[in-house]
Amino acid sequence: MMEHYQIVIIGGGTAGITVAAQLMRKDKSLKIAIIEPSEKHYYQPAWTLVGAGTFDFKDTEREEADYIPKGVTWIKDKASTIDPKSNKVGTENSGDVGYDYLVVAPGLVMRPDLLPGLPEAMEKGIVCSNYTDPEHTWETLKNFKGGNAVFTQPTTPIKCGGAPQKIMYLAEDYFRKEGIRDKVNVIFATPGTVIFGVPDFARTLNKIIHDRDIIFKPFYAPVRIDVENQDIYFQYSKPGESNCTVMEGNIIGEELTGATEIKIHFDMLHLAPPQAAPQFIQDSEISIQEGPGKGWVDVDIHTLQHKRFPNVFSLGDVAHLPTAKTGAAIRKQAPVLVENLLKLMKTHQVGHESYEGYSSCPLVTGYGKMVLAEFKYDNVRDSDPLISKFVDTSKEQYSMWLLKKYGLPFMYWNLMLRGKA
């Protein structure tokens, strides 16, 4: 006989655990199951610091079992299908699981295969990524002697859009500390149009880039990696530009290899791999079937309720929301989802709680320095009223560095995952 629960949560990461913990705090009698295959739970925001040698990787890892809320059933398995018409989730080994209400929060998956040459480059260790192996990034930094240090990111949505530049600032600071900065070209190449979407924070970051002699290349979309020669190719994607010019004898040795294709040799390359929704999400009817959000879960951006299946909700990285995919976003999404779901269960009407798109990006700009970028939908600045009373979070602050290194991990493990924050 098929197992059946009032609420099934797919995913035991930040979003799934936070929602489960908050639901149990509101009503201990709820019959909830979490479908999650991993035995370990990671605090990924600290991986930026691991990659720069200032945080121990083992301190980012805990046992998943210690964070499944009491009273919640843990189905230690992978979700493999979702059938929203029959109200059931298929799993790889445990059969089908039925639900009255479904919360979809499996996170996203790394897809290095979407960038030709990247899987081989990662296998050989000539590319590093805090997204997959921050300890390798730290080893790469320590062994680097000079040349082109290229930092880039893909055209796909990614977790924490600021992370690719955080490690770039830290690496640049590290090269100064090691006395090799004059032998290094620090290059930040991004498909984006600006260094940061929110003007207040962009002003600060543009000044940092200028003052620290960082080479900023907007409209650079990585298209492939030549592993043998350690070259990365970019498509110059500025709208209306059918060709681009690269000056001969330029400092970083850029070469034009097509009308809008540019080759840069790298001596060190850090990147965020392309990322996507898990395949079972893309294959399910709950995902957007066509258009810009194809493959991501089709939810109302304020209530987090599914647009076509009212008993389905989603939050976190897999939800199609026009804001950054961060743990900070989940902290504001979870209470909205919980209130709206409980109201729906009691009254058959979704609640009126509204998520306004809050996300934050703790932009580490060097050892002991951080800008706390907080914003909501439409790239509107949205600072925490308490913090902004005491500090200007759009400027580099030592206090914000302490928050990143000590305050946020404490809050994550002890408050957020316990349903208290």
Q: Which residues are catalytic?
A: 160, 361
Please, are residues 341 and 288 in contact by the beta-carbon 8 Å criterion?
A: no
Exposure of 15 by Cβ count < 10 A (0-12 exposed, 13-18 middle, 19+ buried)? buried
Q: Which amino acid is at 186?
A: V
Residue 179: CB atoms within 10 A of its CB come to 8
Longest Cα–Cα distance of the chain, Å, equals 71
Task: Identify the DSSP state of 319.
Answer: B
Backbone angles phi, psi at 173, to 5 degrees: -65, -40
Please, are residues 226 and 257 in contact by the beta-carbon 8 Å criterion?
A: no
Rounded (10°) CA dihedral 245, 248, 251, 253: 80
Residue 378: CB atoms within 10 A of its CB come to 11
Backbone angles phi, psi at 349, to 5 degrees: -125, 135
Backbone angles phi, psi at 312, to 5 degrees: -115, 135
Specify whether the backbone of 53 is left (phi greater than 0), alpha (psi in -120 to 50) or beta. Answer: left
Give the three-class secondary structure for 103. Answer: strand
Query: What sign has the CA pseudo-torsion 399, 402, 403, 407?
Result: negative
- Cα–Cα nearest to 234, from 252, 255, 206, 215: 255
Q: Whose structure tokens read 């890892």? A: 61
Residue 295: CB atoms within 10 A of its CB come to 19
Please, are residues 276 and 109 in contact by the beta-carbon 8 Å criterion?
A: yes
Q: Which amino acid is at 175?
A: F
CA dist list (Å): 216 to 48, 88, 254: 20, 48, 13
How large is the C-alpha radius of gyration of the chain? Answer: 22
